Amino acid sequence: MTLRAELARRGLRLQDEDAVDSTNRIAVDAARQGVEEGLVVRARSQTAGRGRQGRTWNAAPGDALLVSFVRRPAVPLSEVTRLTLAAGLAVRDVAAEAGVDAWIKWPNDVFVGPKKLAGILCEWAGDALVVGIGVNLRTDRLPPEVRDHAACLGPTDPDDLLLRLADRLLGLEELIEDGGWIAVRARCAAAMWPMLGADVAVDGGPAAVVGLDEDGALLVRRPGADTPERLLAGDVHLGTEGATCCS
């Protein structure tokens, strides 16, 4: 059965593109025009992929899986952090299936050791949520300053990877909608193991990671503080990691 047919069985419709500026931009535009849930935009390459805080994720043909899913989840806007973490968990699980030991770096990255494997960007477009995911498949053609901070899955069938990622993402979304967020959050927290208890730099200041709160926000304790601080967004760096990586 073809990839399109397999995705259709899951209620998904594939829109394959060659070179684009951003799969998220295409998906967001479609969502704002009322496209039905289930659109999946995939590109062989992108030149202006968007990340958090204006960062970019660019990739030449074959360097990465570049995909955006249009979803209309039955969750409020305030719970988007949950879905971002769930997308990270989906990538982490697919990497584990490929024999790659990855971990989630809150809120929207997946790492292998100190190197970035994938980036995630969730954007609301009306009542739709666009889940953009970029996963490195190879790093040898990246500029040296980026290559030194990047990890990859290695040789893999991109169609099979997309199908497995879709299965994981839809399964976690359904679990959250059915009230299973506590179990998903526990798995996300466990997958963040290098961060838990670690000293980090949060928006330029030192802090120690305590864990995740009930909504998926990061709990950190600043020096001298009696109670943890709740972070919904922000740059969190573990050691010297991430200085030149894209998100």
Among 51-65, 122-136, 138-152, the range of highest mean pLDDT = 122-136
Element (H, E) at 201: strand 199-202
Q: Do 209 and 178 share a structural domain?
A: no
Identify the domain containing residue 135 by its residue range. Answer: 3-191
Q: Do 173 and 87 share a structural domain?
A: yes
Question: What is this structure's pTM?
Answer: 0.90
For 182-210, letters b (16+ CB in 10 Å) and e give: eebbebbbebbebbeeeebbbeeeebbbb
Q: Are 13 and 5 in contact (CB under 8 A)?
A: no
23 belongs to a structural domain? yes
Q: Do 173 and 56 share a structural domain?
A: yes
pLDDT for the residue numbered 57: 55
List beta partners, residue 135: 65, 118
- Give me the number of domains the chain comprises: 2
| Domain final position from 154, 172, 191 | 191
DSSP-based three-state secondary structure for 39:
strand
pLDDT for the residue numbered 207: 94
- Could you give the CA distance from residue 118 to residue 137 in angstroms, rounded to a whole number? 10
Q: Do 220 and 121 share a structural domain?
A: no
143 belongs to a structural domain? yes
State pLDDT tens for residues 31-80. 999 999 999 999 998 876 555 444 555 667 788 999 999 999 988 877 88
Q: Is the pLDDT of residue 1 over 90?
A: no
Element (H, E) at 48: strand 39-50
User: To the nearest whole number, what is the mean pLDDT of the chain?
Assistant: 89
pLDDT for the residue numbered 67: 97
243 belongs to a structural domain? no
Q: Do 144 and 203 share a structural domain?
A: no
pLDDT for the residue numbered 242: 39
Q: Do 223 and 158 share a structural domain?
A: no
- Could you give the CA distance from residue 247 to residue 240 in angstroms, rounded to a whole number? 16
